[in-house]
Structure 1
Amino acid sequence: MRSFLCIGLFFISSLSIGQIREKGTIELTPIIGYSASYHIHSFVFASPPVPGIQLGVYGNYFLNERWSLRSGLLYQKMGTEKIDFSILKDDYSEKTNYITLPVTINYHFGGKRNWYANNGIFMGILTSAEANYNDGNGFVDIKDTTNPIQIGISNGIGYKFKISPKFIVAIDNSNMVGLTKTNKERIGVNFYVSLNLGVVFKI
């Protein structure tokens, strides 16, 4: 039993080798993630999420060993499902796709700087939009009435595992809240949560 415990501790410690970076270091991190999206009011009234797969790449520029600037390009699916709540019912469902540009400041912490947290803003460019009014017509295109740009705030937290000197894996959570309405004719703003897996390449 002791030998298994020692092996386990050694393995965990080997994954936690330092991620301390010098000023000017650049990292590229392709990611894939699972997302859940709501409109703020549909989240409050416990409607089911709109699930999706997030794809993209982040670029990280280190200002020093603790702070970095991160941006990238992400493909995201957002939207809302109908609400079936006792005091509020809404048969409207919406699905929107965006190419999103986040810009955040990252703080790297922990003894080996394996942890990181970020806060910032994002801008999304609409690529498609459709809605289901549950009137028997299914989903219909609503791109003409959907705002082509959404702006909002972003934050998240993550952890980097150093598998080998040249192979680092990152797992992180990302959250986004829109500040602009998705549709010109409705009140909804997006609330988006994702869990992501990435591979970190030092440039």
Structure 2
Amino acid sequence: MRKKLVACLLFTSLIANAQLKEKNDIEIAPCVGINSSNYYESVSYTGGSNKALFTPFFGITADFYVNNRWSLRTGLEYQTLGSSVYTSELINNPQDNYYYRYFYESEKLNFLVIPIHANIHIGKSRKWHINFGPTVSFLTGANFGGEKVEIDHLRKEHLGFGVGFGYRFNIHENLSLGIEHQEYISFTNNLNTFNSNGSFIGNIAGNFSVKAIFKLDSKSTNEE
């Protein structure tokens, strides 16, 4: 029993040490999760009555290591931002004449997202990480209440800031499973400047995701 325990501890130690990264190592990580988003604004556009919008989130990130503690993260992600908008419609009822019906409707803005983040890996075995930096997004489409809408009046290119943290579970020398939480705020107006009438409507979001992390060893990469 004692021998088995020692062997198990030795194997665990070897896996932890094998997971420490070196300069030029690369990690590729497909991810999937859930995103929560809403608007923030400088003028009263929604009256503060909107609710968070929950949508799927997925993408792939790549970490390029400069040493065993720091890496540069980038990638390509698909996010749906927007809000559950408090809105109304005029009802024509012959008995009650006209009246307004108030309800919530999903307003969705679809983005391709490219993070450009510094990523610091902390802890003895570098299982924790904190990433932060600019995030560039490109609007690809929008819909309201499930119906596609035109995006000519919306800004197509967005710049914001992202920050997040995560933890990994080492499975194999070149494979880990990770969990991650990210926050994002945009600095760009959703409305075109020439059509905004001084209004500012930005995006805020947070997501939780799980990912499979594949390590590409720098030694094997250099040999090729």
Q: What is the TM-score normalised by the length of structure 1?
A: 0.80
Q: Does 47-56 or 62-71 show the bigger shift?
A: 47-56
Secondary structure of the equivalent of 1:17?
helix
What is the CA-CA distance between 1:83 and the residue it aligns to?
4.5
Q: Does the 8 Å CA contact 1:131/1:142 hold for their aligned counterparts?
A: no
Q: Who is 2:154 aligned against?
A: 146
Read off the aligned partner of 1:110 and give its amino acid letter: G
Task: Tell me the distance in 2 between the aligned counterparts of 1:79 and 1:63.
Answer: 36
Matches within 5 A, 1:41-60: 41=41, 45=48, 47-60=50-63
Aligned residues: 183
Q: What's the CA shift string for 1:75-102, capped at 9, x where partnerless?
A: 0000012259xxxx99785310011111
1:147 deviates by 0.6
The percent of aligned pairs where both chains have the same amino acid is: 27
Aligned residue in 2 for 1:125: 138
Matched ranges for 1:66-81 at <5 A: 66-81=69-84
Determine the structure 1 residue equivalent to 2:38.
Answer: 38
Q: Which residue of 2 aligns with 1:109?
A: 122
Q: Is residue 2:205 matched to residue 1:192? A: yes
Structure 1 residue runs of 4 or more that deviate by more than 6 Å after TM superposition? 89-92
Q: Distance in 2 between matches of 1:26 and 1:127?
A: 29
List alignment gaps of at least 5 residues for structure 2. Answer: 88-101, 217-224
Asked if 1:65 is matched to 2:68, the reply is: yes
Determine the structure 1 residue equivalent to 2:181: 173
Which of structures 1 and 2 has the bigger CA Rg? 2
**Counterpart code for 1:69:** L
Q: 2:16 is matched by which residue type in structure 1?
A: I
| Displacement of 1:40 | 2.1
**Residue 139 of structure 1: CA displacement?**
4.3
Asked if structure 1 preserves the Cα contact closer than 8 Å seen for 2:49 and 2:85, the reply is: no
Native 8 Å contact 1:130 1:143 kept in 2: no
Corresponding residue for residue 135 of structure 1: none
Please tell me whether the aligned partners of residues 46 and 86 of structure 2 are also in contact (alpha carbons under 8 angstroms). Answer: no
Determine whether 1:26 maps to 2:29.
no
Q: Which residue of structure 2 aligns with residue 17 of structure 1? A: 16
The alpha carbon displacement at 1:187 in A equals: 2.3
Structure 1 gaps, min length 5: 1-5, 133-137
Partner of 2:167: 159
